[in-house]
Structure 1
Amino acid sequence: MLLYEHPLSSYAQKVKIALREKGLDFTAERPADFGTGHRGGPLGQANPRAEVPVLIDGDVTLFESTVILEYIEERWPEPPLLPRAPAARARARLTEEVCDTQYEAVNWGFGEVLWFRRATGDLAGRLKARAARQTAELQAWLTERLGEADWFGGARFGWADAAAAPMVNRSVHYGLGPDAGSPLARWHARLCERPAVAATFAEFDAAAAQMAAASEHYTTGGRRRAYRDHRLEWMVRSGGVAVVLAGLREDNIRFSWPHGE
């Protein structure tokens, strides 16, 4: 299997954790056209959105991380990531949905300021403060769902843990992690002890260490950040309309397919 991915993509991390938890062999490749929006290269041909992750398994090509996760779970059901009971399965999927939408958008917005310097001065401070408050709110929601269990599914690591892992870990990287000794902090510590998760987090750390040097590609237009759905909503409602307008003027942001060009 071939996985087009980027180590900083929370969606790709979720898929890699699932593949590794199931003991599956795959090759991870960072496409040369990642972040450009170009549709002529391998990534654009495999996914019209020109986004990662993309899983290629023989003659099967899939994009959208949740669809990929469902394919992995159905093709390789052991060890299971989803619980058996319908209500528990729905609960896991709901946790994933919130992480993939609201939580990812907050993390992405914070990164736009921290890594890509989309805003400076007072605006940067306001955006980062908004992200910090929302991160705490999302972590409180996750803590309530975790309860006293070791994992979101109870006694076993599962679907919701794989989905939440990249989101909470990125918050930790930003200095916005859960309070020390809290249930969510203890959960994160358990995560880091799992080989599948530890390997994925190590790849994230290595890529994050290079972001200061790579960020110029995204401000000069060599790469363009994808402003879409919840990400765009977050920036607008957080007071960053000027950031979006500047990105349009300087052509260093992009929107998803279809482009209508």
Structure 2
Amino acid sequence: MLLYEHPLSSYAQKVKIALREKGVPFTAELPLTFGTGRQDGAFAAANPRTEVPVLIDDDVTLFESTVILEYVEERWPEPPLLPRSPAARAFARLTEEVCDTQYEAVNWGFGEILWFRRATGALADRLRARAAAQTRVLQDWLAGRLGEAEWFGGARFGWADAAVAPMLNRSVHYGLGPPEGSPLARWHARVRERPSVAETFREFDGAAARMAQAADLYTTGGRRREYRDHRLEWMIKSGGVEVVLAGLRDRTIRFPWPEGEPG
């Protein structure tokens, strides 16, 4: 089984955690054309959006991390990641949805400034401040859902934990983690000790350490950062419309398929 992925992708991390929790062996591969938007080759054939993750299991090819997670849960039901009751399942899926949209966009926007130097000076300060404030709001929301429980699903690690882990860990990497000693901070310390998560986070750390080199590709046009809907929304509503305009002018950003290249 092949998983097209990037170690920094929170979506790919979520899938890797699920596969490792279930003990499913897979080969992880970073596509050679990742970040280019090219529509030729095996990666684009598997996913015309040219986004990771993509799971190839014999004759089954899937993209979109939630769809992959659903497939993994049904294909390898033990140990289950989703709880039994409909209400608890909906709770887990809603937690994942907010992480995959609002939280991912804030993390991504902060990374645009930190790693890819999309803005400098006062604009960079303003965007970082907005990201930090929004991170606090999202972490407060997650803290309310966690409460005093050990895991987001209660007594057992599950679906919501796999979804939250990459998002919160990236905030911690950015220096925007939850207050020390808080239930959410204790959850992060606990989750990072699970073998499935620890291995995934080690891969993240290794890739993050190489970002200074990779960032140059995205600021010279060798690679183009994809401005998906929630990411574009974040940049505009946070006051970074000039970042978008500069990216269009310099052809250092792209939009999702079809016609992902700026005109």
* TM-score normalised by the chain length of structure 2: 0.98
What fraction of aligned residue pairs are identical, expressed as a percent?
80
Is 2:60 aligned against 1:60?
yes
1:136 is matched with which residue? 136
Is 2:196 aligned against 1:196?
yes
1:187 is matched with which residue? 187
Counterparts of residues 122-201 of structure 1 (less than 5 Å): 122-201=122-201
Structure 1 CA distance, aligned partners of 2:107 and 2:187?
A: 19
Are 2:37 and 2:260, in contact at CA under 8 Å, matched by a contact in 1? no
1:18 is matched with which residue? 18
Q: What is the DSSP-based 3-state SS (H/G/I as helix, E as strand, rest coil) of the residue aligned with 1:14?
A: helix
2:79 is matched with which residue? 79
| 1:260 to partner: Cα distance | 8.1
Structure 2 CA distance, aligned partners of 1:260 and 1:88?
A: 37
Structure 1 CA distance, aligned partners of 2:95 and 2:101?
A: 10
Are 2:88 and 2:153, in contact at CA under 8 Å, matched by a contact in 1? yes
Cα deviation code 1:125-153 (max 9, x no counterpart)? 00000000000000000000001100000
Q: What is the DSSP-based 3-state SS (H/G/I as helix, E as strand, rest coil) of the residue aligned with 2:51?
A: coil
Counterparts of residues 27-38 of structure 1 (less than 5 Å): 27-38=27-38
| 1:32 to partner: Cα distance | 0.3
1:113 is matched with which residue? 113
Are 2:2 and 2:29, in contact at CA under 8 Å, matched by a contact in 1? yes
1:242 is matched with which residue? 242
| 1:36 to partner: Cα distance | 0.5
Structure 1 CA distance, aligned partners of 2:221 and 2:45?
A: 22
| 1:103 to partner: Cα distance | 0.1
2:206 is matched with which residue? 206
Q: What is the DSSP-based 3-state SS (H/G/I as helix, E as strand, rest coil) of the residue aligned with 2:28?
A: strand
Are 2:254 and 2:260, in contact at CA under 8 Å, matched by a contact in 1? no
What amino acid maps onto 2:75 in structure 1?
Answer: R
* Alignment root-mean-square deviation, CA: 0.8
Q: What is the DSSP-based 3-state SS (H/G/I as helix, E as strand, rest coil) of the residue aligned with 2:192?
A: helix
Q: Answer with 92-101 or 38-47: which moved more.
A: 38-47
Q: What is the DSSP-based 3-state SS (H/G/I as helix, E as strand, rest coil) of the residue aligned with 1:3?
A: strand
Q: Which residues of structure 1 form unaligned runs of 5+?
A: none
Structure 1 CA distance, aligned partners of 2:27 and 2:211?
A: 23
Q: Answer with 234-243 or 40-49: which moved more.
A: 40-49
1:224 is matched with which residue? 224
| 1:39 to partner: Cα distance | 1.1
List structure 1 runs of 4+ shifted beyond 3 angstroms: none
Structure 2 CA distance, aligned partners of 1:6 and 1:41?
A: 17
